[in-house]
Amino acid sequence: MAEAHQKNHDYHIIDPSPWPFLASVGAFILAIGGIGFMRYHSGGEFVLFNANLTNPWIFLVGLVIVLYTMFGWWSDTIKEGKQGHHTRVVSLHLRYGMIMFIASEVMFFAAWFWAFFDASLYPADAEQVARAAFTGGVWPPKGLEVLDPLHLPLYNTVILLLSGTTVTWAHHALLHNDRKGLITGLSLTVILGVLFSFVQAYEYIHAPFAFKDSIYGATFFMATGFHGFHVIIGTIFLLVCLIRAIKNDFTPQKHFGFEAAAWYWHFVDVVWLFLFFTVYVWASWGAPLAAE
């Protein structure tokens, strides 16, 4: 009887799971709460079906649900891998899934680059559309001081390039079953990721322009801010991998969780290089630099 139910294929049919439904509920609450959160801080009002949702709490509830879902869902995925469900076919499809996710992220950032180039290459059009975002027909807008690309932005570029090196070192150490090298490389990568976030936060605090001042500020903070958000996500991703490495969860043959984190981190590195050379260097060419 047992042989009749024995799996004779490489696919894994998962048990009934609450996570897809809970993820949808959390994402919906997070989106609605995000609108209410922004209206709350801007002094506006958000009313839906006669209910006043102008407060920050709905957003926080949605965020907690999403984070809990991520923790629970990925924990189940790790357990499935340890139970031997990640066969050759399943592992291949996990890789396809990660590749598709990164491809969707590429399109996400393409939208921000599109907005930035549209405003910078056609500043007169940006002036008409944005109305209050007066550019003077030039880019950056007339009278606007910009950040020196060879100061903090260059410093952060070096940090990310170093972190790409250390995560590659960690991967190489894992493939050669060097547990000490894996933990050291991952630790350095996490530290560099945290350092990048602190430097960018300092840069934002001391920026000579604000989000609402001009179309330049809006496109700058949206593009670099969402990248910074991805750096934070990637740092958490790698921190989880570090904890798992300390627990000896990875082997040279089975370590897709770490591999996916490394792919994501390299993607973040490449996006930053595009941001640095376009948003910081090219777009500031000939513009007055803010005093440090």
Judge if 1-85 and 87-292 fold alike in CATH terms.
no
Cα–Cα distance between 116 and 277 in angstroms, integer? 13
Q: Is 145 left (phi over 0), alpha (psi -120 to 50) or beta?
A: beta
CATH, domain range 1-85: 1.10.287.70
pLDDT given at position 1? 44
Sites in the chain below the pLDDT cut of 70 = 1-9, 123-137, 287-288, 290-292
E strand intervals along 185-266:
none
Map out the domains of the chain as residue ranges: 1-85, 87-292
Quick: pLDDT tens for 25-51: 999 999 999 999 988 888 888 888 888
pLDDT given at position 132? 43
Contacts of 47 (CB under 8 A, 6+ apart): 53, 54
Cα–Cα distance between 141 and 284 in angstroms, integer? 10
Task: Kindly state the helix (H) or strand (E) to which residue 38 belongs, with its residue range.
Answer: helix 19-42
- Torsion (CA) 40, 43, 48, 50 in degrees, nearest 10: 120
Cα–Cα distance between 289 and 254 in angstroms, integer? 50
Beta bridge partners of 48: 51
pLDDT given at position 88? 85
Quick: pLDDT tens for 206-256: 988 888 777 888 889 999 999 999 999 999 999 999 999 999 989 888 888
Q: What is the pTM of this model?
A: 0.85
Cα angle at 122 between 138 and 212, to 5 degrees?
70
Fold annotation for 87-292: Four Helix Bundle (Hemerythrin (Met), subunit A) (1.20.120)
Q: Of the candidates 235, 234, 253, 245, which has an alpha carbon nearest to the alpha carbon of residue 98?
A: 234
